[in-house]
Amino acid sequence: MGPGLLQQPVRFALALGLVVAGGLLLYELVGVVEVFALALIMALVLAPAVDFLVGLGLPRFLALLAVLGPLAVGIGLLGYIVAPLLFEQVGDFARRAPAVARGVQGYLRGLGEDYPGLFGGPEGGVASLDLTSAAREVVQRAGELYRFTTRGAGLLLQAVGAVVMTVYMVSNPRPLVEGVLALFPREKRGRVEEILALIRARVSGWILGQLAAMAIIFLFTWAGLALVGVEFAFTFAVLTGVLQIVPFFGPMVSAVPPTLVALADGSPTRALLVVAIYVVVHQIEAHIVSPLIMARSVQLHPVTVIIAVLVMGNLLGLAGVILAVPAAAVVTVLLEELYVKPLGAARETAEPAADEGGLEREEKTPASRS
| Assigned domain for 209 exists | yes
8-22, 55-69, 279-293, 332-346: least confidently modelled range: 8-22
Report CA torsion sign: 155, 157, 162, 163. Answer: positive
Count of C-beta atoms within a 10 Å radius of residue 209? 20
- Residue numbers of the domain that contains 142: 30-172
Give the model's pLDDT for residue 362. 57
**pLDDT over threshold 70, residue 291:** no
Give the mean model confidence (pLDDT) for residues 278-284.
Answer: 86
- Clarify whether residues 166 and 74 are in a common domain: yes
CB 277 within 8 A of CB 228: yes
| Assigned domain for 271 exists | yes
Strands annotated E in the chain: none
Give the model's pLDDT for residue 152. 46
- Clarify whether residues 199 and 341 are in a common domain: yes
Which residue did the predictor score with more confidence, 345 or 88?
88
Alpha carbon distance 249, 78 (integer Å): 28
| Assigned domain for 21 exists | no
Give the model's pLDDT for residue 167. 85
DSSP 180-198: HHTTS-GGGHHHHHHHHHH
**pLDDT over threshold 70, residue 359:** no
**pLDDT over threshold 70, residue 233:** yes
**pLDDT over threshold 60, residue 44:** yes
- Clarify whether residues 230 and 303 are in a common domain: yes
| Assigned domain for 54 exists | yes
What's the DSSP call for residue 286?
A: I
- Clarify whether residues 198 and 340 are in a common domain: yes
| Residue type, position 246, single letter | V
Give the mean model confidence (pLDDT) for residues 213-218.
Answer: 88
- Clarify whether residues 163 and 277 are in a common domain: no
| Assigned domain for 19 exists | no
Give the mean model confidence (pLDDT) for residues 60-70.
Answer: 87
| Assigned domain for 287 exists | yes
- Clarify whether residues 200 and 340 are in a common domain: yes
- Clarify whether residues 97 and 225 are in a common domain: no
Alpha carbon distance 368, 370 (integer Å): 6
Please identify, among 172, 207, 241, the residue that sits at the C-terminal boundary of a domain.
172
**pLDDT over threshold 70, residue 53:** yes
- Clarify whether residues 255 and 111 are in a common domain: no
- Clarify whether residues 225 and 341 are in a common domain: yes
**pLDDT over threshold 60, residue 137:** no
- Clarify whether residues 202 and 168 are in a common domain: no
| Assigned domain for 66 exists | yes
Q: Angle at the Cα of 262 (from 118 to 229), degrees rounded to 5?
A: 150
Give the model's pLDDT for residue 18. 75
pLDDT bin (cut points 50, 70, 90) of residue 319 is confident
Give the mean model confidence (pLDDT) for residues 162-185.
Answer: 84
Alpha carbon distance 334, 303 (integer Å): 18
Alpha carbon distance 22, 28 (integer Å): 10
Which residue did the predictor score with more confidence, 173 or 153?
173
- Clarify whether residues 168 and 226 are in a common domain: no
Residue 225: HSE in the Cβ half-sphere, 13 Å Cα cutoff: 27
| Assigned domain for 359 exists | no
CB 30 within 8 A of CB 316: yes
**pLDDT over threshold 70, residue 159:** yes
- Clarify whether residues 58 and 145 are in a common domain: yes
87-96, 144-153, 213-222, 279-288: least confidently modelled range: 144-153
Q: How many domains does the chain have?
A: 2
Residue 12: HSE in the Cβ half-sphere, 13 Å Cα cutoff: 6
pLDDT bin (cut points 50, 70, 90) of residue 223 is very high
Does an H or E element contain 252, and which?
A: helix 249-254
Give the model's pLDDT for residue 277. 92
